[in-house]
Amino acid sequence: MPVIPVFFLGSYMKQYKKHIFICENIRGEEDSKKSCGRSDSANIRQKFKSRLKELNLSTEIRANAAGCLGQCKHGPITVVYPEGIWYKKIKLDDVEEIVQLHLINGKPVDRLIIKNED
């Protein structure tokens, strides 16, 4: 399938090599499902953004907030594209490992990946 360039204000729009989506959905207190937004996901996203900026990667890799990604029991979760790697139960301390191993060196962090049997 051919790649069609995206135009932005008369020039090519910069396209990111990777996107990290961090679920920040907030469920009601009475909801029985886990709420990523009540599990520090906003701080997790901010740490991704800060580290990418510090490492001069923020023009190549984008960290975005996402609504519910449908994996509530594994939350807080992130998904990295274009690989489609889904990470579960992310903590602030996991961000550096994901940045260094996966985003920089292309090696997903196996212990955090949501697997079919999960």
Task: Give the CATH number, domain containing residue 45.
Answer: 3.40.30.10
Higher pLDDT, 7 or 58: 58
Note whether residue 3 is domain-resident. Answer: no
Q: How confident is the model at residue 81 (pLDDT cuts 50, 70, 90)?
A: very high
pLDDT greater at residue 98 or residue 10: 98
Q: Give the separation between CA 85 and CA 24, rounded to whole angstroms.
A: 18
pLDDT at residue 45, rounded to an integer: 97
Our count of domains for the chain comes to: 1
Q: Establish if 9 belongs to a structural domain.
A: no
Residue 7 domain flag = no
**Which residues fall within 8 angstroms of residue 88, CB to CB, at 6 or more apart?**
71, 74, 75, 77, 112, 113, 114, 118
What is the value of pTM for the model shown?
0.84
**Band of pLDDT at residue 28, cut at 50, 70 and 90:** confident
Answer yes or no: is pLDDT of 5 > 70. no
- Residue 11 is predicted with a pLDDT of 60
Q: What is the pLDDT of residue 4?
A: 52
Average pLDDT over residues 28-43: 86
Would residue 45 count as lying in a domain?
yes
**Higher-scoring residue by pLDDT: 8, 57:** 57
Domain membership of residue 52 as a residue range = 16-112
Report the 10 Å Cβ neighbour count for 26: 16
Give me the sign of the Cα torsion angle 62, 65, 70, 73.
positive
